[in-house]
Amino acid sequence: MKRRDFLKSVSGLAAGAALPAMPQVVSSAKADARSETLLIVSEGGPNNLDIHGVGTNVPGYEVSWNCYDRLISHEMKSGPGGVPYYDRDKFKGELADDMKIDDMSVTFKLKKNAKFHDGAPVTAKDVKWSLDRAVSVGGFPTFQMSAGSLTKAEQFVVIDDSTVRVDFAKKDRLTIPDLAVIVPCVVNSELVKKNASEKDPWGLEFTKQQTAGSGAYKVTKWTAGTEVVMERNEDWVGGPLPKIKRVIWRMVPQAGNRRALLERGDADISYELPFKDFQEMKANGKLNVVSLPFSNGIQYIGMNVTKPPFDNPKVRQAMAYALPYQKIMDAVLFGLGNPMFGAAKDKATEVAWPQPHKYNTDMEKAKALLAEAGYANGFETTISFDLNFAGVNEPLCVLVQESLAQLGIKTTINKVPGANWRTELNKKEMPLFTNVFSGWLDYPEYFFYWCYHGNNSVFNTMSYKSAEMDKLIDGARTAAATGDKAAYDADVKGFVDLAYADVPRIPLYQPFVNVAMQKNISGYQYWFHRRLDYRAMAKG
């Protein structure tokens, strides 16, 4: 008699008393397998097992995070609701035993007994080759490295077999944190070089299909778009041996089915469900639902400031008074988000990001401001959103459209297919749009550098340019690098105030990452990348 038949025979009996421990009593071998296996269901899976690959998607980051080690990682602290949350300011060694920071360099001593999955020892040569690879392959990994002023292979120096030095190109507070993100992972250089070719000197084709790291897990089976199976690396030295022996990650495109799988106790953990589902699951209490704010992330309404009517700050302020903030929180997010609006009038600006602005829904004020700007009768515009996140974006835009109609502003909704969204953002022609930005590195000046600086990066979606803003952002970056706290605080407050007075973009809320899991799953940790870290998780 097998699981299936058993399920049939007990389903009637178990209906009332069915806790997650339900149908797995069949044979003890199967039951063991189940209690040591974590079954994850999500909408999408990885397209590449190597974060250095061309166009590796976000699920691919999760594989990299769990199957590769970095020199250093973050400590945990207690976050909102007591959930472990990564500590931005505290580092611990993963492959490195010891980290010594000097004025213009940092030196790492590697753990002596660290081994790759194939048994080869992890040496300083591997570390250098991997970091060289990250700054050389181009695309996202190279871009992320440059965010911490890590741009040239010469910056990584092998001292001896187990010692590596990273030289700073310039003083930058983000250099060390940037070594703890997913990208600077250490790859088995000998193994990959053996499988590289002239056309592909970094062996990207090889690492796309298999993991070649020293991490806590290794991928043993991967069927793209269907499932990923990972087994524990018994010789892992990066931390305490994980409790979960095997991770099976299945792609289930239907959100309703993912919820059914969770509620029936067949799947252990899932994310990417509609907010309404999370809300209901939270309410009925059968599952653990963790909701935590995105670090350094904001969903906002952006306006193109280069073209009328949004080139007029009065119009932008009117917009900030006309948005239906509370309705969005209630009807779109079901409360699963941190409001970024309606701060008290007398609240002093903090040295923190994100923080709420002082606008609130006030149609009278909006009307007055519009009249002052010469648009008493409103105007016509288009609001665009990314269809990949239609679950949030669509109702949000409809609410905005309704609200603006009261001011005589006629808004057409433009749905942009996911594949096209970045192209559209890059063109910087959309007059009005909603989007999310969230930075891996949780520093205000990092956010502002990408989103408000006049060098006009992809994320300065409003094409906002202000000499004063640039001065404040550059000032804060320099002050952070040199440790000048007073100047730093003044600059951060300065740019936050300016961003809220000029309002090229109107923050709405800080989104939550939501994860639902069985009650017997413990050890969930929030990471800046918002994906799962299996290493700390346990079942039962």
Residues that bind other proteins (CB under 8 A): 2-4, 7-8, 11, 15, 30, 33-34, 37, 39, 41, 47-48, 53-57, 138-140, 142-144, 208-209, 223-227, 248, 250-254, 256-257, 260-261, 263-264, 266-267, 417-420, 422-423, 426, 457-458
| Closer residue to other proteins, CB minimum distance, 142 or 306 | 142
With CA atoms as reference, report the closest residue to 511 among 291, 206, 319, 347: 291
| Rounded-to-integer distance, Cα 360 and Cα 42, Å | 36
User: How many CA within 13 A on the CB side of residue 514?
Assistant: 22
| Closer residue to other proteins, CB minimum distance, 272 or 484 | 272
| Closer residue to other proteins, CB minimum distance, 140 or 334 | 140
Question: What's the N-to-C CA distance of the chain in angstroms?
Answer: 25
| Rounded-to-integer distance, Cα 213 and Cα 218, Å | 8
Closest distance to other proteins from the beta carbon of 345 (Å): 36
Closest distance to other proteins from the beta carbon of 32 (Å): 11
DSSP assignment letter at 82: G
Task: Kindly give, in sequence order, each residue whose CB lies less than 8 Å from that of residue 185, ignoring residues fewer than 6 positions away.
Answer: 51, 64, 68, 69, 70, 130, 134, 213, 215
| Closer residue to other proteins, CB minimum distance, 125 or 422 | 422
Is there a cis peptide before residue 177, judged by omega within 30 degrees of 0? no
Q: Are 505 and 461 in contact (CB under 8 A)?
A: yes
| Closer residue to other proteins, CB minimum distance, 225 or 335 | 225
| Closer residue to other proteins, CB minimum distance, 30 or 519 | 30
| Closer residue to other proteins, CB minimum distance, 11 or 326 | 11
Closest distance to other proteins from the beta carbon of 224 (Å): 3
Closest distance to other proteins from the beta carbon of 45 (Å): 8
Buried b (16+ CB within 10 A) or exposed e, 315-351: bbbbbbbbbbbebbbeebbbebbbbbbebeeeeebee
Beta partners for residue 78, in sequence order: 84
| Closer residue to other proteins, CB minimum distance, 253 or 540 | 253
Task: Tell me the angle at which helices 444-451 and 485-502 cross, rounded to the nearest 10 degrees.
Answer: 40
Closest distance to other proteins from the beta carbon of 317 (Å): 29
| Closer residue to other proteins, CB minimum distance, 404 or 441 | 441
Beta partners for residue 248, in sequence order: 39, 229
Closest distance to other proteins from the beta carbon of 262 (Å): 10
Tell me the three-class secondary structure of 458-480, residue by residue. CCCCCCCCCHHHHHHHHHHHHHH
Tell me the three-class secondary structure of 318-382, residue by residue. HHHHHCCHHHHHHHHCCCCEEECCCCCCCCCCCCCCCCCCCCCCCHHHHHHHHHHCCCCCCCEEE
Closest distance to other proteins from the beta carbon of 416 (Å): 9
Q: Are 31 and 25 in contact (CB under 8 A)?
A: yes
Closest distance to other proteins from the beta carbon of 460 (Å): 12
| Closer residue to other proteins, CB minimum distance, 78 or 254 | 254
Closest distance to other proteins from the beta carbon of 208 (Å): 5
Closest distance to other proteins from the beta carbon of 3 (Å): 7
| Rounded-to-integer distance, Cα 215 and Cα 220, Å | 13
| Rounded-to-integer distance, Cα 78 and Cα 4, Å | 42
Task: Kindly give, in sequence order, each residue whose CB lies less than 8 Å from that of residue 474, ignoring residues fewer than 6 positions away.
Answer: none
